[in-house]
């Protein structure tokens, strides 16, 4: 296991794109957005279903500081490849509104996480307006390192992640829902980044958080550099060593969930378009939405508020509300910011994760910052100087 803070892309001298990041270079740079994790790591050695080893958790993202169960925001989503799950999207397709926090976890814990969020909403409003909840919960598979059939994520972990949700810097790597994840046959997990657009592009902030569990080694590219080819599995073993086929626990069979946030006033169809662009950031790192991958993107925009089912309590029947929108011909900077931030978030996830040993002693090696810096320098990227890590 890794310990202590680890570098991010910019600490290695990797500057992706042309736009500046926000203060935390995280999805939480979008005002009001908060992130919380609950991480479960225990046990070593052979797999004993129901006992461990356990390498899993849950991550929650709150789009704003007010009561999200009642006050929704416009949202849209996109599927690159559908071998996965993102709950609540049928209603987002229908109404274009997100209510409640977004949660990310492992494949077999989606149900308990969803139910725990519904229970949390019910407890928060026992005597309030009539409440219903269709939470958005996304997943990626962590069964290579984690006792995924042991069902170790509980409602208490969901509550802990919700209670921990905060603005500012976001813990990355092997935390929360990303704890047991593998990316490009290296240790993956949670990563985040942001972009603040210049005034001529609207001045909006765009933030991205990923749960990265996808890709094969030889495809990995960072800022255009073929890093994966420079990290052959003969030198840095793959956690999938000796496995063949296309099922769970084989190279390229994993997934990624990307969450995009912006404070721009976008309508639902524009959020859907924004979600599509995040997939281009994934592609720039060598993620190709392979056949067994589940690649889902949700984008939400906080520039319009008081949209949810409870926010309008007291409005007369038939009332009309005003909403704002960025004109479609003003979206290019927001699109570009999402692409840049997604690419950097994936790199941050790889750098932050460190090496992890899971079930049956299977080991996923972390991306070494020193070696990455040397590789980037050979291709004319980064400072090419030793790093203090």
The per-residue DSSP string of 144-194 comes to: TTS-GGG----HHHHHHHHHH-BSS----BSSGGGTT-EETTEE-EEEEEE
Phi-psi region of 168 (alpha: psi -120 to 50; beta: other; left: phi over 0): left
Instruction: Confirm if 35 and 103 have CB atoms less than 8 A apart.
Output: no
Q: Is 329 a catalytic residue?
A: no
Token pair, residue 7, equals 């570098």
The confidence score (pLDDT) of residue 247 equals 63
The confidence score (pLDDT) of residue 386 equals 44
User: Closest by alpha carbon to 105, among 31, 33, 49, 55?
Assistant: 55
Residues paired with residue 262 on neighbouring β-strands, in sequence order: 206, 301
Interatomic CA distance for residues 367 and 221, integer angstroms = 13
Return the HEC string of 309-362: CCCCCCCCCCCCCCCCCCCHHHCHHHHHHHHHHHHHHHHHHHHHHCCEECHHHC
Q: Is 292 a catalytic residue?
A: no
The confidence score (pLDDT) of residue 388 equals 43
Q: Is 133 a catalytic residue?
A: no
Which of 109, 194, 238, 255 is catalytic? The answer is 255
Which of 253, 263, 293, 368 is catalytic? The answer is 293
Interatomic CA distance for residues 117 and 155, integer angstroms = 8
The confidence score (pLDDT) of residue 312 equals 54
Q: How far is CA 47 from CA 10, 52, 182, in A?
A: 38, 6, 18
Interatomic CA distance for residues 88 and 279, integer angstroms = 20
The confidence score (pLDDT) of residue 387 equals 44
Whole-structure pTM value = 0.95
Residues paired with residue 299 on neighbouring β-strands, in sequence order: 76, 260
Interatomic CA distance for residues 49 and 285, integer angstroms = 34
In this structure, what DSSP letter does residue 257 have?
Answer: E
| Domains of the chain, start order | 12-311+321-378 (3.60.70.12)
Interatomic CA distance for residues 254 and 184, integer angstroms = 9
- Across the 389 residues of the chain, what is the mean pLDDT of every consecutive 10-residue run? 74 95 98 98 98 98 90 96 96 95 98 97 80 93 98 98 98 98 98 98 98 97 97 95 69 93 98 98 96 96 83 69 95 98 98 98 97 94 54
The confidence score (pLDDT) of residue 161 equals 98
The confidence score (pLDDT) of residue 372 equals 96
User: Closest by alpha carbon to 308, among 65, 78, 30, 67?
Assistant: 67
Interatomic CA distance for residues 290 and 218, integer angstroms = 14
Instruction: Confirm if 252 and 218 have CB atoms less than 8 A apart.
Output: no
Q: Provide the 3-class DSSP secondary structure of residue 11.
A: helix
Which of 29, 71, 295, 368 is catalytic? The answer is 295
User: Closest by alpha carbon to 77, among 279, 349, 283, 344?
Assistant: 279
Return the HEC string of 264-317: CCCCHHHHHHHHHHHHHHHHHCCCCCCCCCEEEEEEEECCCCCCCCCCCCCCCC
């Amino acid at each position: 296991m890794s310990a202590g803070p680890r570098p991010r892309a910019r600490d290695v001298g990797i500057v992706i794109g042309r736009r500046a990041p926000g203060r935390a270079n995280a999805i939480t740079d979008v005002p009001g957005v908060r992130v919380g994790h609950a991480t479960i790591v225990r046990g070593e050695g052979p797999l004993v279903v129901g006992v461990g080893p356990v390498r899993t958790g849950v991550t929650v993202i709150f789009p704003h500081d007010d009561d999200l169960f009642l006050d929704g925001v416009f949202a849209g989503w996109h599927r690159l490849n559908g071998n996965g799950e993102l709950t609540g999207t049928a209603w987002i397709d229908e109404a274009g509104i997100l209510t409640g926090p977004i949660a990310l976890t492992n494949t077999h814990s989606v149900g308990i996480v969803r139910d725990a969020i519904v229970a949390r909403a019910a407890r928060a409003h026992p005597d309030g307006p009539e409440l219903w909840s269709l939470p958005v919960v996304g997943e990626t598979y962590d069964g290579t390192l984690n006792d995924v059939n042991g069902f170790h994520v509980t409602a208490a972990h969901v509550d802990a992640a919700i209670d921990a949700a905060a603005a500012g810097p976001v813990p990355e790597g092997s935390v929360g829902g990303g704890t047991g994840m593998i990316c490009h046959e290296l240790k993956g997990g949670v990563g985040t980044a942001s972009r603040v657009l210049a005034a001529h592009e609207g001045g909006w902030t765009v933030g991205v958080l990923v749960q990265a569990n996808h890709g094969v080694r030889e495809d990995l590219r960072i800022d255009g550099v073929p890093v994966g080819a420079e990290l052959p599995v003969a030198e840095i073993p793959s956690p999938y060593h000796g496995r063949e086929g296309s099922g769970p626990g084989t190279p390229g069979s994993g997934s990624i969930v990307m969450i995009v946030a912006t404070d721009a006033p976008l309508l639902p169809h524009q959020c859907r378009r924004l979600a599509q662009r995040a997939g281009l950031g994934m592609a720039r790192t060598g993620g190709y939405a392979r056949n067994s991958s589940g690649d889902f993107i949700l984008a939400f925009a906080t520039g319009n508020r008081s949209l949810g089912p409870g926010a309008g309590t007291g409005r007369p029947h038939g009332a009309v509300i005003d909403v704002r929108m960025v004109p479609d011909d003003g979206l290019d900077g927001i699109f570009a910011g999402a692409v840049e931030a997604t690419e950097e978030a994936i790199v941050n996830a790889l750098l932050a994760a460190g090496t992890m040993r899971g079930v049956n002693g299977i080991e996923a090696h972390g991306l070494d910052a020193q070696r990455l810096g040397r590789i980037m320098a050979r291709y004319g990227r980064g400072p090419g100087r030793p790093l203090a890590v």
